[in-house]
Amino acid sequence: MKDNDKSQDLNVNEAQPEYDVRYTYADYLQWDDDVRRELIDGVPYLMAAPSFRHQEILINLILLFGNFLKGKQCKVLAAPLDVRLNPDTFDDTVVQPDIIIICDRSIIDDTGCKGVPDMVVEILSPSTTRYDKTLKFNTYLRAGIREYWIIDPNDETLAVHILKDSNYITHAYANDEAVPVYVLEGCTIDLKEVFEE
**Residue 143's CATH number:** 3.90.1570.10
pLDDT over 80 (residue 5): no
Residue 122 CB partners (closer than 8 Å, separation 6+): 97, 98, 128, 132, 136, 148, 149, 150, 151
Establish if 107 belongs to a structural domain.
yes
Establish if 3 belongs to a structural domain.
no
Higher pLDDT, 148 or 15: 148
Mean pLDDT of 160-189: 97
pLDDT over 50 (residue 3): no
Residue 32: what pLDDT? 76
pTM score: 0.89
Establish if 7 belongs to a structural domain.
no
Distances (CA, A) of 112 to 69, 106, 150, 176: 19, 11, 22, 34
Establish if 87 belongs to a structural domain.
yes
Mean pLDDT of 119-136: 94
Establish if 5 belongs to a structural domain.
no
φ, ψ of residue 69 in degrees (nearest 5): -85, -5
Residue 21: what pLDDT? 78
Residue 105: what pLDDT? 95
Establish if 45 belongs to a structural domain.
no
Q: Which domain holds residue 72?
A: 52-194
Residue 6: what pLDDT? 37
pLDDT over 50 (residue 7): no
pLDDT over 70 (residue 14): no
- Strand 43-46 and strand 37-40: pairing? antiparallel
Residue 35: what pLDDT? 86
Residue 19: what pLDDT? 55
What is the C-alpha to C-alpha distance for residues 126 and 97, in angstroms, rounded to an integer?
16
pLDDT over 50 (residue 4): no
Instruction: Provide the domain count of the chain.
Output: 1
Taking all residues of the chain, what is their mean pLDDT, rounded to a whole number? Answer: 90
Higher pLDDT, 10 or 83: 83
pLDDT over 60 (residue 91): yes
Residue 33: what pLDDT? 77
User: Is the separation of the CB atoms in 102 and 108 below 8 Å?
Assistant: yes
Mean pLDDT of 11-17: 48
User: Is the separation of the CB atoms in 163 and 147 below 8 Å?
Assistant: yes
What is the C-alpha to C-alpha distance for residues 81 and 107, in angstroms, rounded to an integer?
13
Helix, strand, coil tally for the chain in percent (to 5) = 25, 30, 45
Mean pLDDT of 23-50: 91
